[in-house]
Amino acid sequence: MDAAAGEKDTNIFIRILKAVNWQKNASFIALVFLVVLSSFLSPYFLKPQNLINIMRQVSYTGIIALGMTFVIVTAGIDLSVGSVVAFTGSVVILAMNAYLNVYNNEVFAIAIGFLVGLGVGGLAGAFNALMITRGKIVPFIATLGSMAIFRSLSLFIGNAGEIQSHNELYGSFGMGSFLMIPVPVFFLLGLGFVLNLVLNNTRYGRYLSAVGSNQKVALFSAINVNKIKFIAYTLTGVLVGISAILLGSRFNAVSTSNMGLAFELDAIAAVIIGGTVMAGGRGTIWGTIFGALILGVINNMLNMVGVSPYLQGTVKGLVIIAAVYVQKQKQ
């Protein structure tokens, strides 16, 4: 009787394993594995404050990675996001300081900062889009050039130093939380929910995948390829603007030389680890969020076991290479 019951339980377990879509849920499964591993390596990993710090850290690059998902689905790439973060963050604080000097209203100053951040980020994304769609410049080269442009502009307006905000409420907003969850995490999850609907349940999302899968076929199908790409890059710029606003509010200042440094690497890594195909045509928003969390857990785990922070870039690079290699093998 016991043997029969044990065999029945085993069969149920096997059916559950077969029912799981391992490929579709690979990023989530990897995240769970890393969380379990990290909890064994360090007793401090599962402390609420540590988990909150991880979520806060990944939210900034995670928001950017959401936009990068759209770009990579079109078979493109945006290397300028880190520099645009620094430039947008600098302009936002300068705009808020200028408003405060005249009207001395911190709430309205933050509202002005948000509008400026969204506008500057969107314009930067549109600039990239025009180079790619109208100028017919390869995305890698176009965004590599704009990466240099926006970084140098931020260094110029900040004299290669730090731009300090005069708005104390702005700093409080950046470090705020609700139910112990940091404000930037709500932005990440809210934007993720909306963009997941756009990617999977709208005509634009279908056209986006079609452009990435085969641009020539998309053109023959009367899809406005340039418009689809323009929206993707501009959207990425807007999301970069949101990230810059939130990151600037965390420190209530912008370091023009360091802010956004290597964010493009983190964003691309999150997208690829999450399961979006580097060659374009298929992407997943929630996978990207899981990818960002995976990177955050890896960084945190390496810090806790005493690995030099200078080696974290090596780990990220290896993870990206491994993820792309696995994608190639599947294809």
- Indicate the burial class of 149 (C-beta count within 10 angstroms; 0-12, 13-18, 19 or more): middle
**Greater model confidence, 231 or 320:** 231
* pTM as predicted: 0.91
**Secondary structure element (H or E) that encloses residue 328, with its range:** helix 312-330
Residue 329 burial (CB count, 10 A): 7
- Which range is least confidently modeled, 59-68, 158-167, 201-210? 158-167
- Which range is least confidently modeled, 67-76, 99-108, 111-120, 222-231? 99-108
User: Residue 1 has what pLDDT?
Assistant: 47
User: Residue 314 has what pLDDT?
Assistant: 86
Does the pLDDT of residue 77 top 70, yes or no?
A: yes
Does the pLDDT of residue 20 top 90, yes or no?
A: no
Residue 25 burial (CB count, 10 A): 16
Domains of the chain by start residue, with CATH: 24-330 (1.10.3470)
Residues 6+ apart with CB under 8 A from 9: none
The rounded distance, in Å, linking the Cα atoms of 3 and 40 is 34
Distances in whole angstroms, Cα of residue 321 to Cα of each of 272, 273, 310? 9, 10, 18
User: Residue 54 has what pLDDT?
Assistant: 93
**Greater model confidence, 266 or 329:** 266
DSSP lists the bridge partners of residue 178 as 181
Q: What's the pLDDT band for 327 if we cut at 50, 70, 90?
A: confident
User: Residue 9 has what pLDDT?
Assistant: 52
User: Residue 8 has what pLDDT?
Assistant: 53
